[in-house]
Structure 1
Amino acid sequence: MSNDEFQTIVLREIILILKIPRIQNPWDLFIIALRLLSIAIPAIFSYLLPLPLLLSVTSQNQALTIRSLSTYAVIRLIMKGRMGGMDNPATERTPLVIAAEINMITYQTKKILLTSAIEIGRHLQEAKAMLKHGEWIKWLEESVNYSRRTASRLIKLYEEYEPSFPEEADSSNGTPVSHLTYTQALLLLGLPEEEREEFIARNNVGNMTKQELQQALKDRDQANQAKEQALQENQVLKKGLETIDSTISELKNEQAKAASMPTNPENVKAEVQSANNASSAGDAPSATTAPFTHNLKTEHDPDAHIKYVEKCDAYCKTIADTFFDLTTALTNLAHIDPNLKEEKRKGANQLIEYMAETIKMWPPPKKPLRVNS
C-alpha cells in the first residue's frame, strides 16, 4: 500500500467517527474524536501518516489501553467496539444508502477539518508568543514541519473565525461562519469581518462548491470596482457641474451689471474722436460696419475664415464628447443615488437650455451708442 493510499484510508476512518446513529453517548465519542484529530490532522497536513499514538479508549464497562498502534488500527478498534461493527448485517446496504453516507461523511470531514485547523492555529499562536525573536521559523520546521506560510494561514483562520464558533459540541445553531468548510473559510479570508457573515447568508455559501464561491467573490469584486468607478465619476461630474453653476452665476451677474451701468461720456467722446480720425483717413465706416461699442478685430487675410471654421468644428466636437461623458456619468449615478442624479440632471439641463437660447442669435444685437447730454 502506498503512502498516499494509506493517508486516504486514515482520513476516511477518522471522519467515520462522526457517523454515530447507534452511539449511546455521542459526547464521549466526540471527545475521543477531538483527541484523535489533534494528533492526526497535523500529520495529514505535513504528510507524516501513519503516526504511532497513545490513546485510552473506554468501551462501556471495560477499559482498553492501546499503546503504540497506528492511527488506522486505533480507529478500526473504535469503530468496531463503539458502533457494533461497520458491517452490521441487520442494516440493508444499498447504493442509495452508501451514497448518502458518503455525502454525509464528506460534509462532516470538511467541517471538522476547519474546526481542527482553527484549533491548530490557536496552539501555533500560543507557541509563537513563547518563543524568542528569531526562533519561530526554526521551531516550525523542526517541531511541527510547517512552513511559515502554512502557520500564518492557520493562525489567521483562528483569529478570524474562532469567535464565531460555539463552544458546545453541537454547532447546528451556530453562526453562518460556523457552518463553513475549510476551503470556504480560506477563500473568505479576503473579506472584511463586518461584511463576511452578511455575504455568507446572502449567497448561501454553505451550499456552494469551491468554483461557485470563487465566482461569487469575483462578481463581488467586480461590482465593488464598478461602484468605486461610478463614485469617482460622480465626484468629477459634481465638480464640473459646480464649475458650470458658478460660471452661469458670474455671467448673469455680469449681464445685470452691464445693463445697469450708464455709458461713460468720456469713453463716448474718445470713440467719436477715433471715428472722425478714421473718416478723415478715408476709412469711414459703412452702414454695415460694426458700431464702436464692439471692439472686434478686422481680418485682412482672405483665408481667415478657414481658421474659424476649423475652430467651430473642433469646439462642436468637444461639446458632443463632453455631452456623451455627461450622460454616461448621469447613468452611473442613477444606480447609486437617484435623487442626486436628478439634481445634477436639472443643473445640466439648465446649462444646456441657457446655451441653446444664447446660440439662437449670435452674435447678440449690437446696441447703439448713448451720449449723455
Structure 2
Amino acid sequence: MISSRFDLRIPFYLMILLSVSFVLSIFAMQLFAGILAILWLFEKYSEKRKAVDRIVIFILIYGLVRLAAIIFSEYPSVSVQSLYKEGLFYLSIFSIGFYVKVFDEQKTRQIIYLFIIGAALNSLIGIARFNLGFVERAESFSSGYTVFSVYLLAAFGVAVILSDLVEIKEKYFYLHIVLSAIILAGMVSSLGRANIGISILILLAGVFLKKIKIKQVFLICLVAVILAFISFFNNSTEATHRVEAPAQLSDRDILYKAAAELAWEHPVLGFGPRTFKEIFPLKDELTDKGVGGWHNELLQVYFESGLAGLLAYIILMVGIFSSGISFVKRNKAEENTIIVFSILVSIAALLLSAFFSGFIDSPVLSIVFALLVSVLAAENYRDKGNKNDLIKAASQ
C-alpha cells in the first residue's frame, strides 16, 4: 500500500477545502490544489511511483501532446500561456491521485459527500445572487454561468447515483434530496439548456438502472421547480429573452461554418493551444464578439492540438470508462460499485456537456475532473490491493 511522510490530516483537510471551493473562489481552489501539489513533491519517489496508474499515464500522454502543440504552435507567444494556465491540472492529477489512494475508504467517501455539499452551497450562492438581481443568470462569485452550470452538472451526476448508498438511504434520505434539488435548481437558474437536458437524462438513467427511486426523483424535481419558480419570479430578464428567441444558436452555426473552413489546415498538431481568437476567420459574423472558444471540446482539442491531441483525448476517455466498467463488473455486489458508477455518470455528463462547452482546459473544471478520476483510480487501486491480499492469504 502507498504511504505518506506527512500527517494524513493535512492533505485530508486540504482536500476537503478544495472540494467545496471550486466556484466559490478560484484563488482558494488554486491555493489548496497548489499546496497539495507541493506536499506531493516532497513525498518519497518510491511511494509516488506506486500511485501512477494507467489513467495517469493516459493524461500524461495527452499533456505531452499539448506540450508538442505549444512548441510547434503558429502563435507561440499565445500558446505558451497554457503552461501556467493548465499546469495545475497535471500536477493535481498526480497529487490528488496520490493522496486519495493513501486515504482509506471512509475518508474518500467523506470527500465525495463534501463535494456534493459544496456544490449545493455554491448553487445556493448562485441562486441568491440571481434572485437579488446581481446577475442575469445564476453564477457564483468567481466563475461565469457556463462553468457554474457544468460544475453543478458534475456534482449532480454523483449525487443522483449515490442515492443508492445504504448510508444515504438510512441516515440522510431527505437531506440528500434537498441537496440534489438545490444543485438542480442552480442549473435551471443558470439557464444552460444543454446542461438542464443532461440532468434530466441523469435522472432517467438513475431510475432505469434502479439507482434512485421515482419518489426521490419526484421530490428532487418538486423542490427544484419551487426554487426555480421563485428565482424567475424575482428575475425574469434572461428567461424572457430566451422564451422570445428559442431558436438562438449562440453563434454555433457560425462556429461550425468556420470550423469547416479551417478543418485541414493544420491536421497533425493543430494551430496551438488558446489560439482561437488568432485563427477564427469569421469574427465579423459573430453576434457575441466576446466568444473565446469553439463551444465544443472536440473541436477545441482538434484545432489546438490536431489529430494527435484528439486521439490522445479519446484514448484517455476510453481508458477511464474501461477502467470504471471493469471495476463495476468485478464488484457487482459491493457498495463501492455505486461510488465508481456515480463517477462514471458524472464524467459522462461532463463529456456530453463538452459538445456545448468544455472542461479539460478550464482552470476550474479540469480540477473537478482531476478529483473525479482520482477517486475512480483509487477505488481500482484498493480493489486490486484487496484481491492481491486474498490471493496471498489463500496461498499460505
Asked which structure has the greater CA Rg, the reply is 1
TM-score calculated relative to the size of structure 1: 0.27
TM-score for the superposition, normalised by structure 2:
0.25
- Bigger relative CO (Cα 8 Å, ≥ 6 apart): 2
- When you count helix as a share of all residues, which structure comes out higher? 2
